[in-house]
Amino acid sequence: MLQTYEGTLNNGQITWNHPNDIPRKAKVLITILEEEKEVEKKTKPSLQFRGALKHLSQEQKDQNNQELQNLRDEWERAI
């Protein structure tokens, strides 16, 4: 019976995602799915939207700030 196990190949060494499931001895065929790319340094989520609301009027900004404050107040309110 064929079984599939997932892992990562790094410099000729396989690191299995679930090593306890791997048989101690078995004939294998290795298929390389895709080359893993190094994780890019991501920006903080709060910085991704910097300037996204700059087109709003002051009245709209004030209204948004009031809505956010209402949410904060509800969150901090004792239940």
pLDDT score for 53: 80
pLDDT score for 59: 92
Rounded to 10 degrees, the C-alpha dihedral 37/41/44/47 comes to: -100
pLDDT score for 55: 87
Average confidence (pLDDT) per 10 residues, the chain, 79 residues: 86 88 87 71 69 86 92 80
Hey, where are the domains in the chain?
Answer: 1-33
pLDDT score for 36: 62
pLDDT score for 69: 92
Nearest to 68 by CA among 52, 32, 76: 76
